[in-house]
Structure 1
Amino acid sequence: MLPLLTLIKEYRQGLAAFVLMLVALFLMLSVRPGDQQGMNSAQSLVLDIMGGLQRLILSPVEATRAAGERIDDLMALDAENRRLKRELARMAPLQLRAEELRRENQRLKELLSMPADPLYGKLAARVIGDSSSAFAHSLMINAGRDSGAALDSVVMGARGLVGRVIQLGEKHSLVLSILDVNSRVPVMAQRSRIKAMAAGANDRLLRLEFVAREADLEAGDLIITSGSGGVFPKELAVGHVVSLQSVKAGLFQTAWVKPIADFDRLEEVRLLTPATLPDDRLAAQ
């Protein structure tokens, strides 16, 4: 009995079709000749049965075809997704490079938008090395004698003074930062015109030396170059006073200045090269 049930379950669609065909044949044979109304009814019933039988047979085929088309669509979408992922992976470095170029262009615009002194030429350079440490602060730039750089060329950032060239090569130069302990820059307060000397301390701040105790100097004052000494042009922005320290027994007070130039983010600089160099400086080169 069990094998019979198994066969019926396995071939149930074929058996159902066979039974329906037998029913249709029986109805057709049961109509008497000359009974037109019965003939029409039998034909209609047979058509309905055959239509249902056809749908029964074709339903799995249609379902299989629809499933196949759906699988093809999913495979196509998966392939397109993988292609787009590869394209995004390929474009990521290009997007990063484009963003870097945009930022560099913005920095160079800011750098070159500084007011030009007719006595000095413009020369842009890239910072390629930073040897700053607890004992020294200097930078290497990719501009040398071939590019028009000169000894003591003043080096500016986008907003403030960076230092000066102390060693000159054909294609590279060494810049002494204003933060270096050996750096001295003649300066003055823009507001009160009080003069002083900005000294590097191998720190983030500059120390103002030779400021009289009674000097009109306040926190927040802008410090600019005074032009004394002939190396640094007058009125270059250096930094802002952040604190003052007086000594009771001394004649001077000490002020600390935060440079305007952002040394942590310094990537490009501008050199102020003298348009005409004195004979003694030409001989030194």
Structure 2
Amino acid sequence: MSLVGHQAPPIFRRGPSPLVRLILFVSICLAMLVADIKYRYLDVLRQAISVVTYPLQRAAAAPADVVRNASRYFATLVEVQKENAALRRELLDAAQSLLRFEHLQRENEALRGLLEMSRRLPLTSVSAEILYDAPDPFARKVILDRGAQHGVKAGFPVVDAHGVIGQVTRVYPAQAEVTLLTDKNQAIAVEVVRNGLRGVLFGTGQGQLEMRYVLAGADVLPGDVLVTSGLDGVFPAGLPVATVLHVERDGSGQGFFSIACEPAAGVERSIQVLVVGRAEAPPPRPSEQDAVDPPGGR
């Protein structure tokens, strides 16, 4: 058999050597690189590939983003909690400072008022502070931080910067008990500043005062100012006591007015007070025998 014109099968054909292929492909790549640098013809292809692969990139980066965002969130949360705690502490400190400042301001104003009151009174006075309310729930009484060793005596009036608040009813060596005007068993002789009408003011036991036994038709009007008359021999004359709130006819049918009054002083609110004493004792009250047979009489 003749072998002229016979060709070997494709499987047995041998192409270029690997070195030649490498050089060829490197040359093609360099040419494409140079052409892309010069003419930028692969930009559209790059953009298309980036658009197609962007969801895959986001999906691949999602776990890392979740971990990173979670760590940032918890770190920020811890910082915010610490900052909130610090701000709360600063707010509490500022509130406490403000409360102390307001308390000192009120106390300063009260002391100034007491100083002015003591200058107006031609009497001896002892400054005192109310420590606490008396333990009796049925009485309106307070305890002062001044007593017998400070010159306080039973019966002395007690005032604040605005007027009378009560009377000393019991004295201890370093403390004293004061019965407030609003106590239901306390009474004080007063007069109306506008016309000099005299009367007696009683406590109601509920923070208010009542002027009793005033005949119907008496000239008393809402807004009238009541001051001590001095006729009881205990309270000096002219101390502010109360203001008339309203005037009504007594329901007892005896022809009297029922006159409700509001204390002029902070009877159940004051802390800084003055205990007012007399420079000299008042003259003694006349006895019944003196009233029947006055001195110098027959």
TM class by shorter chain equals 0.5 to 0.7
Instruction: Report the TM-score when normalising by structure 2.
Output: 0.61
Residues 27, 42 of structure 1: 8 Å contact kept: no
C-alpha deviation, 1:103, in angstroms: 3.8
C-alpha deviation, 1:193, in angstroms: 0.5
1:120 to 112, 120, 124: 124
Partner deviation per Cα, 1:119-168 (whole Å, 9 max, x = no partner): 2325142251145645x332222222344433322112443321111111
Distance in 2 between residues matched to 1:244 and 1:26, nearest whole Å? 123
Partner of residue 166, structure 1: 169
C-alpha deviation, 1:90, in angstroms: 5.4
Partner of residue 8, structure 1: none
Partner deviation per Cα, 1:78-106 (whole Å, 9 max, x = no partner): 43333333443555545444444444444
Residues 182, 267 of structure 2: 8 Å contact kept: no
Partner of residue 129, structure 1: 133
Instruction: Give the aligned length.
Output: 249
Partner of residue 153, structure 2: 150
C-alpha deviation, 1:221, in angstroms: 2.1
Partner deviation per Cα, 1:154-187 (whole Å, 9 max, x = no partner): 1124433211111112221111222334423221
Partner of residue 278, structure 1: 281
Amino acid at match of 1:233: P
Distance in 1 between residues matched to 2:251 and 2:36, nearest whole Å? 125
Partner deviation per Cα, 1:168-212 (whole Å, 9 max, x = no partner): 122211112223344232211111111222233545332334x45
SS at match of 1:79: helix
Distance in 2 between residues matched to 1:160 and 1:120, nearest whole Å? 16
Distance in 2 between residues matched to 1:232 and 1:99, nearest whole Å? 33
Distance in 1 between residues matched to 2:166 and 2:37, nearest whole Å? 107
Residues 185, 199 of structure 1: 8 Å contact kept: yes
When the two chains are superposed, the root-mean-square deviation of aligned CA atoms in Å is: 4.7
Q: Are 1:29 and 2:30 an aligned pair?
A: no
Which ranges in structure 2 are unaligned for 5 or more consecutive residues? 1-22, 51-55, 285-298
Residues 159, 237 of structure 1: 8 Å contact kept: yes
2:247 to 228, 239, 243: 243
Residues 127, 269 of structure 1: 8 Å contact kept: no
SS at match of 2:130: strand
1:208 to 209, 212, 225: 212
Distance in 2 between residues matched to 1:85 and 1:248, nearest whole Å? 60
- Going from structure 1 to structure 2, the CA distance change for 1:98 and 1:178 (only over 3 Å counts) comes to same
Distance in 1 between residues matched to 2:229 and 2:175, nearest whole Å? 28
Partner of residue 3, structure 2: none
Which ranges in structure 1 are unaligned for 5 or more consecutive residues? 1-24
Distance in 2 between residues matched to 1:144 and 1:266, nearest whole Å? 21
